Structure 1
Amino acid sequence: MRFVIVTGMSGAGKSTALKMLEDMEYFCVDNLPVMLIEKFVQLLRDGGPGEIEKVAVGVDIRNGKALDELETVLENINFSGVGIEILFLDAEDEVLVRRYKESRRSHPLAAESRIDEGIHRERERLRFLKEYADYILDTSKLLTRELKAELEKIFVENGSFKNLMVTVLSFGFKYGIPQDADLVFDVRFLPNPYYIEELRPLSGNNAPVSDYVMSFDLAHEFSDKLEDLIRFLIPNYITEGKTQLVIAVGCTGGKHRSVTLANELYRRLGENEEYGIRVEHRDIEKDGKKCLSPEA
């Protein structure tokens, strides 16, 4: 029997994750009281072959003071021979605050105080669960389909889990540096395709622009040094326990040079066993002109 505890911060997507696991043929129970978990496992175990084989149980701060007993309950279940996997869903504080404001819900630990104070209390209460977690998913920047893909990879395909998600993000300095950027690189030193009339309406996703930018030795030298730096940093971030890394590459408008160099870094880092990676272009269409598709 595969037994999964789904837990984490309120507003990080636990209910959504449980619904997705249910669609993946897991028997799901949300907010099961801690005192009943051990008995629940025993009933499932004694059900015999052909019974429920995949179970996911939602446990979170709604259990109140009983949550303090969860560590002992999990140890007892492990001793009984049933392996437990813990999925911890997390998100950045500012993202959680925004989600609560958008939903107009109150945080379960906020009481009469502010939402961010409730989030701080919850992090302290759940610290031990995060330390025990087998999988930590930061949903701050995950789309619903990306969360589903990660869950399928872990709980259906039994693939290797990549705790760190790297986002390579292009942007334009005239629109501001991304607030969530961990590393920022300025590529405005490269020749600007904007001043070439036939390239101006295109973006770095289009071959004529990317070929032009990468025709300069300086672009290749920068890409070599950037790749070397990122490959050095990532294992150290993983050791530190970091789950999200945003690498921001900026030019003036975020349409030509930064897009090209962000795509180049994404291509170089590629698929691997240590971390997930994706590329985004924040400001690619902010000049009001529709950019052509990457295939154009």
Structure 2
Amino acid sequence: MSDQAMKQEILIVTGMSGAGRSTVANALEDLGWYVVDNLPLAMLKTLADMADRSGGALPKIVAVIDVRGRDLFEDIQATVTELRQTATVRVVFLDATDDILVRRYESVRRPHPLQIEAGSLVDGIKLERERLQELRASSDVVIDTSRYNVHELSTATRELFSDEDTPGLQLSVQSFGFKYGTPTDVDLMADMRFLPNPFWETELRPLTGVDVEVKDFVMSREGAQEFLENYVAALEPMLAGYQRENKRHVSLAVGCTGGKHRSVAMARELADRLAALPGVHVSLRHRDLGRE
């Protein structure tokens, strides 16, 4: 095994049609990745071998794959197993809710790739989701693009992959509100609704978990400090294990009713604590802050 092969990175970008594969591919290309769209999986090993012999000219490769291969799950599993003998390979799966996918296809007035086979646009999306169910479950990174426009998805991609040269684990922490729907692209989720809601305190209602008054209120409630300390203690061996298994990206969602007070305050506290762990690099966002 050559030194170059050890450094080579390969991303297989796949997922639901209309979920933003082209947008993600363009963003990765801007970051310096070599992107190949609709490359047959059988040729990916050949491309990786050529890159290995190129003397480092193509250290980062992206292969964008769509659903038209019927045995996509089995093909990707076999390809990944073979490629991982000489390179670091990850599968990135892009998803979105059915209603969002329908809206996107209707806006561009293009047929779904499985629409002719399945019948209607909705049937095509349903068939594709069935075919990709196993692949989604086995992917290394899942990105739900339902709430992103093109520019926001490009930004999210750059934030996720711009630190690829940083060793260790990239941990994404986000707060959210359950009333706006639970995130579908996270690895871990914590529910802060066991704590009293600052919304019912008149002086705290207009504030957010970013404000010190709300933070002090939330963190002084019974069970808050115990949860924080015990949850960080439980996550520490898990995150260390992810690093040993070469899982580079992990996402943690922290929820409360509206995503304004409790989840924001606790997400910030967790991010601070987890950023102090060896090899863990933390990013923080508040999905629903400002929606009310």
**Residue 19 of structure 1 aligns to which amino acid in structure 2?**
N
Q: Which residue of 2 aligns with 1:185?
A: 193
Give 5+ residue unaligned stretches, structure 1: 287-296
1:7 aligns with one of 13, 17, 34:
13
Farther-moved stretch of structure 1 (114-123 vs 70-79): 70-79
**Residue 141 of structure 2 aligns to which amino acid in structure 1?**
I
The within-5 A match list for 1:161-176 is: 161-162=169-170, 165-169=172-176, 171=177
Farther-moved stretch of structure 1 (29-38 vs 67-76): 67-76
Q: 1:23 to 1:49 in 2, by over 3 A?
A: same
Contact 1:166 1:245 in 2 (8 A): yes
Cα deviation, residue 18, structure 1: 1.9
Aligned identity (percent) is 15
**Residue 96 of structure 1 aligns to which amino acid in structure 2?**
T
Q: 1:281 to 1:223 in 2, by over 3 A?
A: farther
Indicate the structure (1 or 2) with the bigger Cα radius of gyration: 1
Q: 1:213 to 1:23 in 2, by over 3 A?
A: same
Q: TM-score, normalised by structure 1?
A: 0.64
Contact 1:27 1:52 in 2 (8 A): yes
Q: Which residue of 1 aligns with 2:35?
A: 28
SS in 2 for 1:115: helix
RMSD of the TM alignment (CA)?
4.1
Q: Does 1:40 align with 2:47?
A: yes
Cα deviation, residue 119, structure 1: 0.6
Cα deviation, residue 107, structure 1: 4.6
Q: 1:268 to 1:67 in 2, by over 3 A?
A: closer
Q: 1:205 to 1:60 in 2, by over 3 A?
A: same
**Residue 123 of structure 1 aligns to which amino acid in structure 2?**
Q
Q: 1:177 to 1:68 in 2, by over 3 A?
A: closer
Question: How many residues are matched?
Answer: 255
Q: TM-score, normalised by structure 2?
A: 0.65
Q: Which residue of 1 aligns with 2:186?
A: none
Give 5+ residue unaligned stretches, structure 2: 184-188
Deviations 1:188-209 (A, max 9, x none): 4669541x5xx665555444x4
Q: Distance in 2 between matches of 1:235 and 1:107?
A: 43
